[in-house]
Amino acid sequence: MLDSSYLEQTVASVVEFSGVGLHSGAPVQMRLLPAPAGSGIVFRRTDLDNFEIPATGRNVAKVSYATSLMRQGVLISTTEHLLSAFIGLGVDNAVVELDNLELPILDGSALPFVEMISRAGVRSQRRKRTYLKILRPYELREGDKFIAVYPANQYSVSYAINFPHPLIGSEALKVELTNGSYVEQIASARTFGFLEQQHAMLNMGLIRGATRESCIVLTADGIDNPPLRYPDEFVRHKILDLIGDLALFGKRILGYVKADRAGHAMHTAIVSRILRDRSYWEEVTLDQQSDSRPTSERLAMAD
């Protein structure tokens, strides 16, 4: 019998919830359902004849203030918080049903999704989990923005941010996504916005569903709705977003990701570029990962 960490997992039962989209302001009903091994995370629009969009890099649509997926003109928006929770809790396969175009923002963090997944339960499946193992470095730079992925035997991420605000300034943090660290260190970090940008963003058709209960509201010199959940909650939320965006690899990765002021567009760009070039990665299971022999030698032994 394999240890459960070697096996794929899905939610054990159906769980339902509702909320409002951050940018659309539209009400949405959602359900998380178990899915077969090997199927990945699939979004299903129940308002559009159950049209399905797999959560993979090839379906990435516009990314600016949130990460959206699109297939055949059908959109799913603001996917990153739920995808982050799935990675953090080790859920490989699930169907996400919703009756509108945008996932609910809830409290602005991944914690409500973590609680819902925990309520549904997580069960192991009869299939070995495969990981996307990074084989060589890939770096992407745009001005002062940077993101890179390096080979490593575990999944870890580091992020640095710099905002000209007295409560933020420069923050940096590195997290290893093992031993429950996601739930303890990342899941409850909320998204944040600046009060002075509110009118401009509303004029752009954004943040129509934002409230003081769904994000940290920063004033010119403080917070409109304290307290913070962590002293460095801002960079922790950026890590939360990064983990959700990198879920679009379609598998958990074995690698070290380093980001500096990157943002959703760069997060998803590095996913697309790495997936296009097989020289940067291979698929492995944990028992293969523990075998230090070259892949070609392992395959020869398997034959």
* CB 30 within 8 Å of CB 21: no
Q: Which residues contact 9 (CB under 8 A, 6 or more apart)?
A: 90, 91, 92, 93, 122, 123, 124, 125, 129
- Is 264 known to be catalytic? yes
Q: Which residues contact 179 (CB under 8 A, 6 or more apart)?
A: none
Q: How far apart are CA 183 and CA 105, in angstroms?
A: 18
Catalytic residue among 23, 81, 237, 264, which?
264
Chain-centroid distance, C-alpha 95: 16
Q: Which residues contact 114 (CB under 8 A, 6 or more apart)?
A: 85, 88, 89, 183, 187
Q: Which residues are catalytic?
A: 264
